[in-house]
Amino acid sequence: MMRTVAFGWMLVLPAAWLQGSEQTESARGRDAVGADVRALCAGAKGPKIQYPLIPLPPGAVRPAGWLNDWARAAAEGITGHLDERADVFKHGYRGYHFEAKGVKANGTGWPLEQCAYWLDGLVRLAYILDDPALIEKARSRLDLVVDGVNRGGESFVYWRPRGILDVEMDKVNGLFNNWAHSHMGRALVAYYQATGERRILDALVKAYRDYPLPEFQVGFYPVNGMVNLDPMLDTYMMSGDEKVLGNAIAAVRRPGFERIVAQWNGGEIAHGHTVIFYENVRVPALMYPWTGDRRLLDATLGAIALAERRHGLPSGLVSGEEYLAGIGSTRNVETCNVAAGPWTFQWLLRITGDRVWADRMEKVFFNAGPAPIARDFQTMSYYQSPNRMSMTFPGDRPGCPGGQLGDSYRFTPIGHPVLCCVGNCNRIIPNFIMGMWMATEDRGLAATLYGPCSLRARVADGSAVEITCETAYPFEEEIRMTVRPEREVDFPLCLRIPAWCRGPSIEVNGRPVAQEVDGRGFARLRRVWSNGDRVILRLPMHTEIIEGHETPYPQDKYYQKRALSKLTEIHNPFACVTHGPLLFALPIADKDPNEPVGGTAFNYALDAASASDASRVLRGPMPGHWSWGLDAPVKMLVPAIQFDWQPTELQPLPAAPVEGGKPASITLVPYGCTRFRVSMFPVGGGGAGGATKK
């Protein structure tokens, strides 16, 4: 019989505990249905600070509507077939040498990291869609790791001795192996939660009881294996093995870790690699519930806030080329960060229960999520940037390892010669879908992210409930939920009210209900629910013109070949348009993701005051199949100023507000629908420096 740890009602459960008894065999735990979980969990020790929200396993939430279209495109595209496109994904998990970039003589190194990213996304999407082919593909690969550990191996790195993870033995190989180990650990956590198979949990416990966590590093380079804390903590919560928890706590009691926490709380944040920033920055917060030390959470929150002030871009992420790169219309976001950022935000949502992290997850998913991936999910790119007018703009300058910057924008079946991003992009969709609903500590459910979906879970005393969400959100404002419990049952249903929303309304069975939004941003509906109860949530969206200034690149030797990085004074004003969670952009039509249609005008500036007062939202029907096309179901008609604008690498935006020009009207579409675009506009008339709302 499986053991699942409960902290009050805080359960980290395999899918079979949470879903109804009519699951397909592929997604069902073998011995879990109908068991009394609370009896199995008696005596388990919980954290000092309770988690307000508890994630659900792969398969508890099923996508519908436009979200299902996108998930199916992933299954039929990169996610389902990446092993057919590059040897790294064909061989990278097996444990022998093969010829590929970054492979060590023993087969370790880059390929394990890249392949682990893919397998983590693959196994989650497989069980979310209950897709037999994807499930078999994931199982056949992950079972090698599970069985290898259970037959005597010590780690997820080709089930070899833990010494292979020791950074002192091999500072390059060891670092990457330790880092890659954490990503394989995440895949195995998801695999166990989806299936409930004890052998998977046994392998997780065996690996993490004495796992050699390295010293945490103050800088965000090189990679650091302390991110194994994610799967370690989930392993403890699923198993109750005290050695796993003790190992994690011991690692954060080291003097070096304490010094980093003190530095972050003092505002001393090192410059470094953005992917490593997003992975490392959550590490102190992960241990806050288990130590009760508020300084750990504050260190993470402070580091994120400082990075966003210095490097935040309008699509919801900080810049990364690959290092943190300041604020600018031609600064880039590495596609790995589209997965890594929301993963950190999801952990902070679990730990704090604060809607701000769900708001950020939606912002990234709806905007930065689709931008670097082709509409059919067959090709992707390494970088995206707020403004992309041509394939070569803003010039031929060095990019990430493996090529020029133009190569990093190019959409190909593997994205780039460096294969981290094509592996990581497979996590974007399944992690969002899994995060749409969470359990609450008082045996209820919380709608944390919105979109068309259905949920099967257990509430209160273990009663099964199904909730369907009919909506085209974020392309409409209304979310219609139908609650179908197996019998009448009393439980709280919590609905996130986004911070950007003014005047939300809630109806239950056609009657308005009073909104009692708690301090974390959730409206709580506590009642006895009956089969067919209907909840309608309306989230009115408003237009916001956000103004700011471009900033210089960090003065770091990493950027010494960038011409723009030599400018230490950059203060070009810009304006962006948002509506609800969506960033809008001027679309430049494309023949394909690598070739824009020639002659499309993009030389427009926005006057914040007039754009806010006179912009109009244009709504149309959702298409029969969703593919992030330019003919979007929601568009914006915005007044603008057409002027003579010839952007260059050294002057991507005008240095001052535009004077004169010709009045014009432009039609904007959601940023995620574009492949070539302008989303950070020059400023006309009144200048920049604040935010204007409509």
For 40, 282, 286, 647, 680, the CA distances from 395, given in Å and listed in that order, are 62, 35, 41, 10, 18
Residue 396 inside a domain? The answer is no
Region 125-150: what's the mean pLDDT? 97
- ∠ CA 623-412-112, nearest 5°, is 110
Q: Do residues 663 and 523 both lie within one domain?
A: no
User: pLDDT tens for residues 513-540?
Assistant: 988 899 999 999 999 999 999 999 999 9
174 pLDDT exceeds 90?
A: no
> What is the model's pLDDT at position 28?
38
Number of H-type helices and E-type strands within the chain: 22, 27
> What is the model's pLDDT at position 99?
86
Q: What are the residues facing 272 on neighbouring strands?
A: 220
Region 148-156: what's the mean pLDDT? 95
How do 595-596 and 582-587 pair as beta strands?
unpaired
Q: Which of 515, 538, 561 is the endpoint of a domain?
A: 538
Share of the chain above pLDDT 90, in %: 77
Region 119-139: what's the mean pLDDT? 98
Q: Which of 506, 538, 570 is the endpoint of a domain?
A: 538
Region 242-271: what's the mean pLDDT? 94
Q: How far apart are the first and last CA of the chain?
A: 57
228 pLDDT exceeds 50?
A: yes
Q: Which of 503, 538, 573 is the endpoint of a domain?
A: 538
What average pLDDT does the structure give for the chain?
A: 89
138 pLDDT exceeds 50?
A: yes
Region 363-387: what's the mean pLDDT? 97
Q: Do residues 137 and 239 both lie within one domain?
A: yes
450 pLDDT exceeds 90?
A: yes
> What is the model's pLDDT at position 317?
98
Residue 194 inside a domain? The answer is yes
pLDDT confidence band for 225 (50 / 70 / 90): very high
- ∠ CA 177-182-187, nearest 5°, is 120
206 pLDDT exceeds 80?
A: yes
**Tally of structural domains, the chain:** 3
| Under 8 Å between Cβ of 681 and 578 | no
Q: Do residues 272 and 309 both lie within one domain?
A: yes
Q: Do residues 509 and 461 both lie within one domain?
A: yes
Residue 384 inside a domain? The answer is no
Helix (H, G, I), strand (E, B) or coil at 465: strand
Residue 31 inside a domain? The answer is yes
Region 152-166: what's the mean pLDDT? 88
> What is the model's pLDDT at position 181?
95
This prediction's pTM: 0.94
172 pLDDT exceeds 70?
A: no
> What is the model's pLDDT at position 400?
47
Reported as half-sphere exposure (CB side, CA atoms, 13 A), residue 142 has a value of 34
> What is the model's pLDDT at position 170?
65
Residue 333 inside a domain? The answer is yes
328: CATH: 1.50.10.10
> What is the model's pLDDT at position 17?
45
pLDDT confidence band for 24 (50 / 70 / 90): very low
> What is the model's pLDDT at position 36?
28
Residue 256 inside a domain? The answer is yes
| Under 8 Å between Cβ of 453 and 64 | yes
> What is the model's pLDDT at position 19?
44
User: pLDDT tens for residues 463-516?
Assistant: 999 999 999 999 999 999 999 999 999 999 999 999 999 999 999 999 999 888
How do 463-470 and 453-459 pair as beta strands?
antiparallel
Q: Quick one: which of 2, 13, 40 has its CA closest to 443?
A: 13
> What is the model's pLDDT at position 171?
65
Q: Do residues 60 and 194 both lie within one domain?
A: yes
User: pLDDT tens for residues 424-438?
Assistant: 999 999 999 999 999
- From CA 163, how far away is CA 174, in angstroms rounded? 9
User: pLDDT tens for residues 345-369?
Assistant: 999 999 999 999 999 999 999 999 9
| Under 8 Å between Cβ of 361 and 347 | no
> What is the model's pLDDT at position 6?
45
> What is the model's pLDDT at position 44?
45
Q: Do residues 323 and 444 both lie within one domain?
A: no
Q: Do residues 495 and 575 both lie within one domain?
A: no
pLDDT, greater one: 562 or 596: 596
Region 360-382: what's the mean pLDDT? 97
Residue 369 inside a domain? The answer is yes
> Locate tokens 């500590």: which residue?
441
pLDDT confidence band for 402 (50 / 70 / 90): very low
Q: Do residues 418 and 448 both lie within one domain?
A: no
Q: Do residues 128 and 201 both lie within one domain?
A: yes
Q: Do residues 424 and 483 both lie within one domain?
A: no
508: CATH: 2.60.40
Residue 237 inside a domain? The answer is yes
Q: Do residues 627 and 492 both lie within one domain?
A: no
Q: Do residues 236 and 321 both lie within one domain?
A: yes
Boundaries of domain holding 32: 6-378+413-434
33 pLDDT exceeds 60?
A: no
pLDDT confidence band for 226 (50 / 70 / 90): very high
